[in-house]
A = this chain, B = another copy of it.
Amino acid sequence: MKPEPLSRERIVAAAVDLIEREGADAVSMRRIATELGVGVMSLYNHVPNKSSLLDGVAESVMAQIEFHDDISAPWQEQVLAQARALRQIAMHYPRCTLVVLTRQLRTPAGLLPTERALATLKRAGFERDQAVSVLRAFVAYIVGCLLREVGVTSTFDPAGGGGSIAGSFDATLFPETADLYGWLATCDHEAEFEFGLRMLVEAAAVVPRAPSNTDEPQS
């Protein structure tokens, strides 16, 4: 009935599944073993240790990113599309997101997003050091957004989600927070993501760069 042989892929898939169902804290070698109906130690025939298993989780998720950016579109559009592709996958695996962002991968799946972004920025005419700095600014922003969206960092709701409308903080100590309570208490993640992304794209567009090739490659 269950002759399917154990393999690294099956183990990683079980881990991704478990994380999405119960959160990253639920992941343990023993738990995944029972999930797969095998002894704990059987896992170690395919995965050297837990850390490597989590690398596998990150790799598996990263490999599913789907880039749809049009190479003939203006670079601003391409950058937006690439950023949205990252967000897509994070929305698809929200509870894996912290794990994915936390393990830096030096594998094809981990390097591909960087490669594509750098190609876009160089085609846009950015000098090499500028291309890297702009990339890093975008990635920092995207990482911060995604961690907020999946609930890892704060949305600035000053009184936990389930609290009363007035909240429990001292409104006289924090008058601005109180005044803006209505906006702080809710967060349209997609709108906020797009808002900051557009700010960065606009700012990147005015970074001085080589005039030779701006939008169209012209070799």
Query: Residues of A at under 8 Å CB distance from B?
Result: 101-102, 104-106, 108, 110-112, 114-115, 118-119, 122, 128-129, 131-137, 139-145, 147-148, 152-156, 158-160, 168-170, 173-177, 179-180, 183-184, 187, 191-192, 195-196, 199-200, 202-204, 206-207
Contact A169/B199 with A115-B174, A144-B139, A177-B111 known, Cβ cut-off 8 Å = no
Residues on B with C-beta less than 8 A from A200 are: 196, 199-200, 203
* A196/B143 in contact, CB under 8 A: no
* A128/B203 in contact, CB under 8 A: no
15 new A-B contacts at CB < 8 Å, known A119-B176, A147-B147? A105-B154, A112-B174, A115-B176, A118-B180, A133-B191, A133-B192, A136-B148, A136-B187, A137-B192, A139-B154, A140-B144, A143-B147, A199-B203, A202-B206, A203-B203
Contact A176/B207 with A136-B156, A137-B199 known, Cβ cut-off 8 Å = no
* B177/A114 in contact, CB under 8 A: yes
